[in-house]
C-alpha cells in the first residue's frame, strides 16, 4: 500500500512538472523556443512553434522524469489517468489560492486578482481596499 501511495505521489509530481515546464516555455523560458526557432529559420527549416514546444516537452518528460514515451498505452486507461491527474492538479491549485495566510502585500495586482477569482475572501477584501 505504501509503495502504491509513493508511486502515485511521484506520478502526480511528474505530471505537475510537465505542466509547469509547458507554462515556463510560454513565459520565463520562452527564450529557449525563440532560440531554436531562430536557428531553424536561419538554416531555412520551417516548422511550427508548437512542434518545437512539443518536442522539448517530450524530451523533458522522457529524460527528467524517466518515463518511457515509446511504450504502448491503452487509450481509455490513458484518458482516465489524465482526467484523474488533472483533477488532482486542479485541487492543488485551488488549495494554493485558498491560502488565507499568503503575503498579499508582496503580490502584484494580477496575482492578487487570481487569488480573489479563485474565491479567496481575504484576497478579495485586500484587493478592494488596496487597489481602488
pLDDT in tens, 21-59: 888 888 888 899 999 999 999 999 999 998 998 888 888
Contact 112, 126 (CB under 8 A): yes
Cα separation values, 52 from 47, 48, 68, Å: 8, 7, 20
Computed from CA positions of residues 90, 8, 58, 80, in that sequence, does the dihedral angle turn out positive or negative? Answer: negative
User: How much is the pLDDT for 36?
Assistant: 93
Instruction: Convert 51-62 to b/e letters by CB count within 10 Å (16 or more is b).
Output: ebbeebeeebbe
User: How much is the pLDDT for 28?
Assistant: 87
User: How much is the pLDDT for 38?
Assistant: 93
Cα separation values, 4 from 8, 12, 25, Å: 6, 12, 32
Residues of the chain below pLDDT 50: none
Cα separation values, 18 from 28, 38, 67, Å: 15, 24, 11
Please give the full DSSP string across 67-121, using - where no structure is assigned: --TTS---HHHHHHHHHHHHHHHHHHHHHHHT-TTS-GGG--HHHHHHHHHTT-H
Amino acid at each position: 500500500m505504501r509503495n502504491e501511495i509513493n508511486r502515485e505521489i511521484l506520478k502526480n509530481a511528474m505530471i505537475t512538472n510537465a505542466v509547469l515546464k509547458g507554462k515556463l516555455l510560454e513565459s520565463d523560458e520562452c527564450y529557449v523556443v525563440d532560440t531554436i526557432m531562430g536557428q531553424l529559420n536561419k538554416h531555412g527549416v520551417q516548422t511550427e512553434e508548437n512542434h518545437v514546444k512539443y518536442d522539448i516537452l517530450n524530451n523533458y518528460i522522457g529524460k527528467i522524469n524517466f518515463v518511457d514515451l515509446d511504450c504502448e498505452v491503452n487509450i481509455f486507461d490513458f484518458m482516465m489517468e489524465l482526467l484523474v491527474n488533472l483533477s488532482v492538479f486542479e485541487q492543488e491549485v485551488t488549495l494554493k489560492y485558498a491560502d488565507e495566510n499568503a503575503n498579499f502585500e508582496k503580490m502584484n495586482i494580477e496575482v492578487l486578482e487570481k487569488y480573489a477569482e479563485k474565491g479567496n475572501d481575504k484576497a478579495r477584501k485586500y484587493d478592494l481596499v488596496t487597489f481602488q
